Amino acid sequence: MSALSPRDRMIVPLDVPTVDDAYAIIDDLGDSVSFYKIGYQLGYAGGFDLARDLIADDKDVFMDLKLLDIDNTIEKGVISIRDMGAKFLTIHAYPKAMRAAVQGRGDTNLNLLGVTVLTSMDDADLAEAGYLISAKDLVAKRAANARAAGMDGIVCSAQEAGAMRAIVGPDMSIVTPGIRPEGTDIGDQKRVMTPSKAIAAGADYLVVGRPILQADNRSDMARRITDDIAKALEK
């Protein structure tokens, strides 16, 4: 991971309803951002074509689709995303689903990320859903399953990044959403951390959405966060 620049480590989610809205953000950010995430909202509104355009423009694209289905469907879906040229794709960290995804990825540059526990969820949310395990323990279990399945990385809270590094080892990527610079609103996230602390904790990539998208000057905020990442990497 040492070859990654601070800018390469910051991922901006295009969580907007239309492709036009997404292009407005991309234009605002200019060369301050090189890596974008496309999820359900934009994906179902033309985001797949936008992803292809970004890839053609030498941007990295993270398809945050959180796939979970029968093995054959997962494998074929991954093949489609693989052929698109995306860099990252998320799979819910269920062992069978991850093994099918690895089969679909084959020997390509697509990086498969196992989603452990969503950062909007805490122990009470898991209990309500019927899990008899804490968020911390479930993240650890799913991280171990991701490594065993041959995944390329995991998605977890930055609060868990250090402990998960010991489980997944040095070669798997740790991607952390729920990143909030000092003084910004945490919104609906429950397990959050600042950019510099997340890097220090062991995260490789940071997903930073609302602090950038809602900023008065998006490119300035993006550069502030990149600078924060750079300072953390120097320590």
Distance CA 159, CA 117 (A): 12
Residue of 59, 66, 136, 141 with catalytic role: 66
Does the annotation flag 109 for ligand binding?
A: no
Does the annotation flag 180 for ligand binding?
A: yes
Tokens of 93: 């960290």
Does the annotation flag 71 for ligand binding?
A: yes
Among this protein's residues, is 228 annotated catalytic?
Answer: no
Does the annotation flag 119 for ligand binding?
A: yes
Does the annotation flag 72 for ligand binding?
A: yes
Does the annotation flag 83 for ligand binding?
A: no
Q: In sequence order, what are the beta bridge partners of 110?
A: none
Among this protein's residues, is 204 annotated catalytic?
Answer: no
Does the annotation flag 126 for ligand binding?
A: no
Does the annotation flag 87 for ligand binding?
A: no
Distance CA 221, CA 117 (A): 28
Residue position matching structure tokens 């800018």: 7
Within the chain, strands assigned E span 10-13, 35-38, 60-67, 88-92, 111-115, 153-155, 173-176, 205-207
Residue of 64, 152, 204, 228 with catalytic role: 64
Does the annotation flag 70 for ligand binding?
A: yes
Among this protein's residues, is 197 annotated catalytic?
Answer: no
Q: Are 164 and 184 in contact (CB under 8 A)?
A: no
Tokens of 191: 């397990």
Residue of 21, 53, 69, 125 with catalytic role: 69
Helix (H) or strand (E) holding 25: helix 19-29
Question: What residues are labeled active site?
Answer: 64, 66, 69
| Binding site listing | 15, 37, 64-73, 119, 180, 189, 209-210
| Binding site listing for substrate | 15, 37, 64-73, 119, 180, 189, 209-210
